[in-house]
Structure 1
Amino acid sequence: MNAPTPFPGRPDPDDRITFDRTELGLILTLYGRMVAAGEWRDYGMSFLKEVAIFSVFRRTAEHPVYRIEKRPRLRARQGQYAVIGMDGQILKRGQDLRAVLRVLERKLIRAVGD
């Protein structure tokens, strides 16, 4: 007999998609550089059944400026990683997280160069 779920209606934590240590390291390194440049101020993470999301905010309590998503089910098709803009437009998608994050690195170079 299975034990009852401690929080009915919530997904089982074992069923959620997460970022592994390496992926999170890449994302947080970029995040730290963008914070130092004054571009970003806050972040949030969501781990759901089909997607892990790292949301980036320019100010607290607003809509995310960017979302970095991991969707393993898309691994064989478009690639499991995506950077999505505030308007929902996919800025970059692919298999290699480092390559996908380069779309945001270019924005860092412009911010520092201005």
Structure 2
Amino acid sequence: MAFESAQPQPVGGVVFFERRELDALMRLYGRMVAAGEWRDYGIAGLAESAVFSVFRHASEDALYRIEKRPALARKQGAWAVIARGGLIMKRGHELAQVLKVFEKGKFSVVD
């Protein structure tokens, strides 16, 4: 009987999101679209990280990047929310904790 590890290893050297992580990201995205804040998103699986980027307009740079970097899991935390320009808004070990930065009244989008 094979046991799965708690932290799945990247397949083919690519880090990506698990189903429950994607569910949480898409729920947040849906709420922000309904509020008129976000209008597009992109997902990338890279060698060292998985990135969920959100945009106000598809032709612009990402407003925010939500990154998963498993290599930082034991240090600073695998999760980070990074604003346009590279400002790290929140970093942590749990996705739900990091996504709290987007709770109503805690942030505003600056054009």
Q: Greater relative contact order (Cα 8 A, min sep 6): structure 1 or 2?
A: 1
Secondary structure of 1:88's match?
Answer: coil
Identity across the alignment (%): 52
Work out which of the residue numbers 20, 34, 43 in structure 2 matches 1:36. Answer: 34
> For residues 12 and 68 of structure 2, what CA distance do their matches in structure 1 show?
16
Unaligned runs of 5+ in 2: 1-10
Structure with the larger helix share: 1
How far off is 1:92 after superposition?
0.2
Q: Which amino acid aligns with 1:44?
A: G
How far off is 1:15 after superposition?
1.2
Are the aligned partners of 2:101 and 2:107 in contact in 1 as well (CA < 8 Å)? Answer: no
> For residues 38 and 52 of structure 1, what CA distance do their matches in structure 2 show?
25
TM-score, normalized by length of structure 1?
Answer: 0.81
* Aligned residue pair count: 100
Question: Could you say what the CA RMSD is over the residues aligned between the two structures, in angstroms?
Answer: 2.0
Are the aligned partners of 1:82 and 1:94 in contact in 2 as well (CA < 8 Å)? Answer: yes
Unaligned runs of 5+ in 1: 1-12
> For residues 31 and 19 of structure 1, what CA distance do their matches in structure 2 show?
15
Q: Which amino acid aligns with 1:52?
A: A
> For residues 23 and 88 of structure 2, what CA distance do their matches in structure 1 show?
22
Are the aligned partners of 1:23 and 1:97 in contact in 2 as well (CA < 8 Å)? Answer: yes
TM-score, normalized by length of structure 2?
Answer: 0.83
Correspondences of 1:71-90 after superposition (within 5 Å): 71-90=69-88
